Amino acid sequence: MQYHLDGFTPGDPALRRAVDGLSQPESSDLYEEVDVLIVGCGPAGLTLAAQLSMFPEITTRVVDQKLGPLEFGQADGVACRSMEMFEAFGFSERVLKESYWVNETSFWRPDPEAPETIVRADRIQDVEDDLSEFPHTILSQARVHDFYLEAMLQSPRRLVPDYGRRFSHLVVERDGPSAGEYPVVAHLERVDPGHEGHVEVVRARYVVGCDGARSAVRTSIGVEVRGDAANKLWGVADMLAVTNFPDIRLKSAIQSSNNGSVLVIPREGGYLFRMYTELGELEPGERASDREITPDDIIAAAQNVLHPYTLDVKEVSWWSVYEIGQRLSETFEESTPSGADDGPRVFITGDACHTHSPKAGQGMNVSMADSFNLGWKLASVVLGMATPELLETYSVERQSIAQELIDFDRAMETLFAARANTTADSGVAKAQQAQFQEYFTRHARFTAGVETTYAPSLIT
């Protein structure tokens, strides 16, 4: 097939025309001054980097303290709205081809006749008809990163991340002789072999912290995180196993009578599956790292929940433990001094703004949506198509969505971890299960990412 856009160009149609004079992947070492400096190569950072790399006029640098791309683990749920974003970047069909499609969800509870065992309570459609042209899918976060990195490499800027750079601190210089077009001064410490300890100084128009729950960018601008911990310990593992549990290839929420709960997530490829497994309570002040949990502990807990079904684990490809907590940053941007007319210069997105339980499958999706919201606004301001006032809508809009996410996650966690009723009155047990399923169904549009509503503002 021939592709015509401003004339015929042979070759790969996905490869955008490079900036004049740029034929190789761009080395951002060339730039000590950039329009946008992105700190962090997670889903939020790469979404923003891929978005900005499509604008030939915008210079972008993206850095991460890791020494290379993500390879295993972390998030895997891709909501319908995220699939729509992937369509904008041109790789939705590849995600559809590689991913597991979540079409149904099953619910399991204790058998009223034998409470020490579990029985299927119901199976429901995961996404309602005509909600989106795309399904809810499961794909490794590492593969999502791969697609973003490829889109960046094929962009007009041929953008590649700079790994091995740890963000140290920043200063916004709005006044004085050094203030100018690039008022944000960021200090980066090299941690890659052969360059350890070397400090790079980058001046930027804007800096965006996509550097996770312990964000150094957030700390640099003095933004506080508020919230609490539920003192619940959970384990998660990607497993290859032999099992007679009949719904192992369905997303399954399992509540036992006395052994906790498990969430089963089938993985792409047809063999692996992920299990989120409840591991008990934490004492006040205790951290997950204090327990010295092993993969065998997670497996044993899951086996207890699945009884009478068996789980013979052959391999664990990735695992982790975590504690439940819902926390939200007080703002998603720097505090602009009184009288300043240039708007905020530093922003945070993703886990730097909000943290919660991973079982809701929202972390990666909401993080990417944060950056998708901010990206076009940054591009519009940098290109002179909008005033800096536009940037002030980002924090207002996305903080309200993050609060909805925190509220949803807190309620979902409470319902999921509740001990299933095992009294002889099966009506009580069914009512309890119905409450959990009703909440899941009622909020399906929110988890699909298609129920976002912003308050009236400059642009709504």
Hey, what are 75's tokens? 């998030």
For the question of residue 358 being annotated catalytic, the response is: yes
Q: Which residues contact 351 (CB under 8 A, 6 or more apart)?
A: 42, 44, 212, 213, 215, 363, 367
Please report the pLDDT score of residue 412 as a whole number: 77
Residue 118: strand, helix, or coil? strand
Domain borders along the chain are 1-102+128-229+325-453
| DSSP-derived pairing of the beta strands 60-64 and 162-163 | parallel
Catalytic residue of the set 358, 370, 409, 410? 358
- Give yes or no: 25 in active site: no
Q: Where are the alpha helices (DSSP H) in 140-187?
A: 141-153
Choose, from 267, 274, 345, 410, the residue flagged as catalytic. Answer: 267
Dihedral of alpha carbons 211, 449, 49, 223, sign: negative
d(CA 437, CA 415): 10
Tell me the pLDDT tens digit for each residue of 414-424.
777 665 554 44
Q: Among the options 276, 345, 394, 409, which is catalytic? A: 276
- The answer to whether residue 309 is catalytic is no
Return the CATH architecture of domain 1-102+128-229+325-453.
Answer: 3-Layer(bba) Sandwich (3.50)
How would you classify the pairing of strands 104-111 and 251-255?
A: parallel
φ/ψ of 171, rounded to 5, equals -135, 135
Given 76, 247, 351, 370, the catalytic residue = 76
Sign of the alpha-carbon dihedral angle for 146, 101, 236, 298 = negative
Task: Compute how many other C-beta atoms are within 10 angstroms of the C-beta atom of residue 340.
Answer: 14
- Return the structure tokens found at 16: 């955008």
CB 266 within 8 A of CB 101: no
- pLDDT tens string 370-424: 999 999 999 999 999 999 999 999 999 999 999 998 988 888 777 776 655 544 4
Query: Is position 388 annotated as part of the catalytic site?
Result: no
Helices (H), 266-391: 295-306, 363-382
Between CA 249 and CA 273 the distance in angstroms is 8
Half-sphere CA count of 125, side-chain side, radius 13 A: 7
From first to last of the 460 residues of the chain, give the pLDDT tens digit: 344 445 445 556 566 777 766 655 555 555 789 999 999 999 999 999 999 999 999 999 999 999 999 988 788 899 999 999 999 999 999 999 999 999 999 999 999 999 999 999 999 998 888 889 999 999 999 999 999 999 999 999 999 999 999 999 999 998 866 678 999 999 999 999 999 999 999 999 999 999 999 999 999 999 999 988 777 889 999 999 999 999 999 999 999 998 999 999 999 999 999 999 999 887 777 777 778 899 999 999 999 999 999 999 999 999 999 887 789 999 999 988 776 778 899 999 999 999 887 766 788 999 999 999 999 999 999 999 999 999 999 999 999 999 998 988 888 777 776 655 544 455 555 666 667 667 777 778 888 888 888 888 889 8
